[in-house]
Amino acid sequence: MPFAFKRYNDCILLVNYAGEHYFIDSIEFEQLLGHTLDKDTSTFKTLKSKFFIYNDLEELHSVIELLANQIRTKQQYLLNFTSLHMIETTTLCNLRCTYCHASTASCDTDKYNRHNVFNKDAIDKIIEMIFQTASKYIKIELQGGEPLTHWGLCKYIIDKSYQKNLEHEDKSIEIILCTNLTLMDESKLEFLKKYKVIISTSLDGTQEMHDAHRVTYGNKGSYNTFVQKLFLTRKVLGHNSVGALLTVTSKNLYRLKEVIDEYIRLEFDGIFIRPLNPYGRAKDLDNIDFGYSIEEFINEYIKALNYIISLNLNGKVFVDYYSSLLMRRILTPFSTGFVDLQSPAGAGISGVMYDFDGNVYPTDEARMLARMGDNNFCIGNVIKNSYSEIFYSEKLVNITKSSILQTMPGCHHCVFNMYCGSDPIRNYAEYKDLTGFRPDSGFCKRNMLIFDYLLDIVKKNNVDAMNVFWSWINKKNVKEIAI
């Protein structure tokens, strides 16, 4: 049966189309390729049970069926077409973060007042379109700029979405507000509580690290206000209602241990250590004073991951979300949707971005490119186009077709392609075409280095680390997992 492989110094990693893996020594590998592997060996039996091989032609049909079934289970997330609906509520922001992806505009009172009137027709059409999705689970994410500078619109969308949901009893909705929290107050929180809104915010580490980038237009740090509003938000909405995203720059990359300690001090349960993306003010990663190389990022990320593993082994439950997601893909047969890392790409088919003027983009990054003058990825407008004109548009079909790793040059034979994902919009931003070029892609290099590291842990069966990963996958304390 088809599989991909990668040679390491002491063994060869095999991965099949369903993401099953096996480490084999070079002698048995040659025997496998030469069809001379002894049927009584444990290697033969394991490879057969994982559908890498079949015994005779009579078995072939049923093995293909079983393998197809496994692939369908792994790709189950594709059935939720399209579940994440992001709405750009405003381009205004009260902060001016130096790495900002969103290409925001400043928020002086005049602009704020003029802008705080919204195009009701466009917003109503956006909400109507959201409920036409086939997905039964709808997440509506309010983004900006800073959505709280346009609170009237946020309230309107939340209210209207819940009203609309009454007409669609087969669907459930969840609303996520992406905010820097600094404009949050009790009356807003009371409204958000009524609709069980989840908060997604940003924390870059200690006060010094956070204030290095997350500053007001008057160049004042925002950390103190952030912390005060974080605890106020938790008090009203509940502790688990707030998650935070970390942006890694050269100011905090070499001090990730301190960042993790700060997350724990502020009572977060985990961290998503993500590198800068080449958009907005961080477009030219090599030439910005807070940039770094992929190798530096991975080096520090691995140190941070090992620190987090040691914390868990010492009784502190704290999750590294990225490795947890990847290990779930490597170790389990289950589907793990993650819009930013899937094949075909989640752009448009798992998540979609609506601008407040009604324009629709496959991703937030595509909308940012439009803000910078490149409107190539606008797939329609909710006022002018129907659902099918937008979601079955040639542009979106092309983006999806160009993002299937099993057919992409460089990825089609990569041993990690069942665990990896593609980002056609990023490819376009970097290479001016949807396919990109794997040999010098930072996205590819980062994922390869992380997969190599994680699979080495699996290969060596590092019991302590594996217990921690299983505790994250099963959402249990490591003591309940440890054998």
Residue position matching structure tokens 């189950």:
76
DSSP secondary structure code for residue 140 in this structure: E
Closer residue to ligand SF4, CB minimum distance, 255 or 445: 445
- Going by their DSSP bridges, the two strands 198-202 and 242-247 should be labelled as parallel
Residue count of the chain, please give it: 483
Peptide bond between residue 145 and the one before it cis (omega within 30 degrees of 0): yes
Closer residue to ligand SF4, CB minimum distance, 233 or 417: 417
Start-to-end CA distance of the chain, whole Å, equals 34
Task: Tell me the window of 320-328, 363-371, 441-449, 460-468 that interacts with ligand SF4 (CB under 6 A).
Answer: 441-449
Is there binding between residue 414 and ligand SF4 (CB under 6 A)? yes
Query: What's CA 242's distance to the chain center, in Å?
Result: 17
Residue position matching structure tokens 């790409």:
345
x-marked contacts with ligand SF4 along 36-55 as a string, rule CB under 6 A: --------------------
Contact 280, 252 (CB under 8 A): no
Residue 290 to residue 248: CA distance in whole angstroms: 9
Is there binding between residue 417 and ligand SF4 (CB under 6 A)? yes
Is there binding between residue 416 and ligand SF4 (CB under 6 A)? yes
Alpha carbon of 201 to those of 38, 143, 146: distances in Å? 56, 11, 11
What is the nearest approach in angstroms of ligand SF4 to the Cβ of residue 76?
A: 20
Q: DSSP labels for 66-127?
A: HHHHHHHHHTGGGGSTT-EEEEE--SEESB--TT-SS--EE--HHHHHHHTS--HHHHHHHH
Closer residue to ligand SF4, CB minimum distance, 4 or 84: 4
Closer residue to ligand SF4, CB minimum distance, 337 or 421: 421
Is there binding between residue 122 and ligand SF4 (CB under 6 A)? no
Q: Which of 178, 429, 444, 478 binds ligand SF4 (CB under 6 A)?
A: 444
Task: Tell me the window of 102-110, 237-245, 353-361, 443-451 that interacts with ligand SF4 (CB under 6 A).
Answer: 443-451
Is there binding between residue 411 and ligand SF4 (CB under 6 A)? yes
Residue 199 to residue 181: CA distance in whole angstroms: 9
What is the nearest approach in angstroms of ligand SF4 to the Cβ of residue 447?
A: 4
Q: Which of 97, 360, 420, 465 binds ligand SF4 (CB under 6 A)?
A: 420
x-marked contacts with ligand SF4 along 358-397 as a string, rule CB under 6 A: ----------------------------------------
Residue 238 to residue 298: CA distance in whole angstroms: 34
Is there binding between residue 161 and ligand SF4 (CB under 6 A)? no
Interacting residues with ligand SF4 (CB under 6 A): 405, 410-411, 414, 416-417, 420, 438, 444, 447-448
